Amino acid sequence: MLRDGVFDRRRQRLVDKMRENGINDERVLAAIGSVHRHRFVEGAFRPRAYEDEALPIGMKQTISQPFTVAYQTMLLNPRPGDRILEIGTGSGYQAAVLCEMGARVFSIERHRPLLARTRSILESLGYRVVLRAGDGTLGWAAQAPFDGIVVTAGASEAPEALLQQLRIEGEDDKPAGRLVIPVGDHRAQTMNLYRRLGEDDYERTASRNFKFVPLIGKQGGL
């Protein structure tokens, strides 16, 4: 079994690699440097936990590649106290990164058995995340508005329900709510950042391409 010191050194090397690859938000890098990714994967995959790669977590799903998590988090730009909704809890790693940055995190996962396992991992590590099983493409209206929503599965389009649950710029003197979502087809998706400027007024910025497992649900599924 690998000792904690080995994981600590590997985690630091992963942070260095993220920086070399263009992640320049120190708060994101500090969170990646704090979360014990090896605790979010099963035993056989632990030796690879600090490689920059996606790994299987069961039910044909994956823990996202660290670069992808760092990139999405950088676009989301969560501030301490922000209400953030994650669609696709998966292993819980992205949720833990958001907690480390001081966000109040809500997360929805469609696979109940995965959610049960992840709930106990997050609790055992002291991360407080409000979790729910269900179709995240419909969002979580009772908890809206959100300062940020991050979708960690590939969509065909941005679900209207998620756009409508973003905070409008200026509401409560706060910045515009952000939706970070990969949009495309089964082969590749482009990362999109939406900012809600008014009731039906959104600014959209598209950046680089990724490949996610598909979002499956009523709105924007692949």
Binding region for ligand SAM (CB under 6 A): 61-64, 87-88, 90-91, 93-94, 108-111, 114, 135-137, 152-153, 212-213, 215-217
Of 141 and 198, which CB lies nearer to ligand SAM in the complex structure? 141
Strands 148-151 and 129-133: unpaired
Between 95 and 176, name the residue whose CB sits nearer to ligand SAM: 95
Minimal distance, residue 147 CB to ligand SAM, in Å:
18
Residue among 34, 64, 91, 120 flagged as catalytic: 64
Q: Is 201:185 a contact under the CB 8 Å cutoff?
A: no
- Bridge partner residues of 86 (DSSP): 107, 150
- Look up 64 and say whether it is catalytic: yes
User: Considering the complex, what minimum distance in angstroms separates the CB of residue 95 from ligand SAM?
Assistant: 7
CB of 64 to ligand SAM, least distance (A): 5
How is residue 160 written in tokens? 């209207």
Helix axes 93-100 and 66-76, enclosed angle (nearest 10): 40
Closest CA to 165 of 143, 183, 135: 143
Q: Are 31 and 10 in contact (CB under 8 A)?
A: no
Q: Least separation, in Å, of the C-beta of 198 and ligand SAM?
A: 27
- Which phi and psi (to 5°) does residue 220 adopt? 75, 15
The helix or strand, by DSSP H or E, that contains position 207, with its residue range, turns out to be strand 201-210
Nearer to ligand SAM, 177 or 217 (CB): 217
Would you name the residues annotated as active-site residues? 64
